[in-house]
Structure 1
């Protein structure tokens, strides 16, 4: 039984005819040429493949005289359209899978949208796996992609909003830039003398790594509630922390050089390795503070001013104490540091008075004995 083939001039299928498949492809070309009134040099499948041998033609197969365009063939296949919308991005060596509609929908006039919009598609560089190459930071691009997906700005604690803002500016995402500028301005330390709040300090902590020194030199924290916060390695040099609540805060290796800690509450705080050179802690409360460090790191409290210090049961064997100014009504019960100078002076004076009293008693006893012997001799 001879095979048949459905021949159309183009993919619109407006004009077609069924032809028998001859033994030679040249005979088939000649028959089709007589029908369409033009010379035919090739036949193509729906996928654009050229037919060169009649043996590969299947019975009742649809063939075209002109080669189909890929866009036309893809329009006839809804599943292919959905697959075509998905792309892979190689951002700084890290791959992201997303849809083109995600990159275009929120900011259609942005540079990122025009890079992948079909009307303004750029000639993007593609790697061997077919992913589009973008020489940007993957850490910040992940935040941008999340925003384009669900219209919400979500930044992890280890991501700096300033970096995301620079990426948003590069891609021309205006709506995201407004949100990031507000966020950066909100968490940026103030340059005036207005005291910083607990929320502002937490915001600064979230955008900086724990092992990096955060500079709060000369800043105003007067009356701020910083209790139970992890404030390790922070530079508080010349800062104003008067009346600040630092209860049970982690102040490991912080610098309070020449800082104002008057009437600050540091009860139960971890002050291992702190530097408090020439710091003013008049009227401060340091009950239950921990100065001990098993690694041998010592707290430097040279010329620390501790007037009316309240420091009951502090663990302080790891302190370097030189030329402390300690006076007033300091409550030094069970305080085993050189802060007991006043008590030592009192004990010394008491011992001296006691010795003088004993010597007087001995002198009086000798006088009485001599008087008794004189009377006996008479």
Structure 2
């Protein structure tokens, strides 16, 4: 048996986990750059370094894809890991001869009728010469994928002279299917004219009518020279489609920090129609610079969250918002980005993040508030140490 004299120390340590440090006790210099608000919850830890993570829930497991050499992907039975590397999407460099073909960015992987489709980005930082490619497989066991090459080019390459590829940037692909019609769409875009949507062909390997695509714009900042909206995602909940995006500066913080609040934050608008128009909580069009902030820098610890995705829940499990973020005590390069996630709730049809965990059992998610979880942990420890 362990000494009961250790019990007060254990309780003290546990209380320190439950009670957040008041903002007033943080280093006052932090507030000059890092937002110290405690109105947003801290992330649940994904325990994996990842920039622009993408998570697919399939057959009782979570599969995480991230930018990196040949698009690495990992497997876990819980969102907090441990994550086991399974392999890479590409066997070598992309067949698209453009940009970072050995280290694609921002993958999005979906499953349809037993086939997995991974949409990935090739580009260079600050360049509009970009492409979105696609690779497929029928198994997630590390077997080779088939690289089908580019779906769209901007700046240079086949089809780049077709509108809207003449004005947009082909990065950060995401995917959505219309619940009513079954039609699937590709969302993409960045600082150049922000975020757009294109209908996909039935095979999901190309866009529909590439010489005259039925493109619609989803977000735009009309009166600013710099238009920092990218990293789109689209989700569906209770009759609404939600257009998510990252707003602000994502990277290069080693060269200096932007003004407070100008770093990445996660924003959203909604529409009854998958093609929009989308409005924010204040009824401002996303095409007119709107976007409700759902998650942003907080506690002086979490900085520039973005690169988002949403795992859809159901009648008994919650939606999950996941993203990458920088820990101010660790570093500010892409390699320092960590996976974080929070439970999403809705009020009057608008999503917000809450403090809580998700326990997983063969992929089944169950929401528990952190206070409940820590209380159960405390009683468990009391029993063990008694």
Q: Same fold (TM over 0.5)?
A: no
Choose between structure 1 and 2 for higher RCO, CA contacts under 8 A separated by at least 6 residues.
2
TM class, shorter-chain normalised? under 0.3
Larger Rg, first or second structure (1 or 2): 1
More helix by share: 1
TM-score normalised by L of structure 1: 0.20
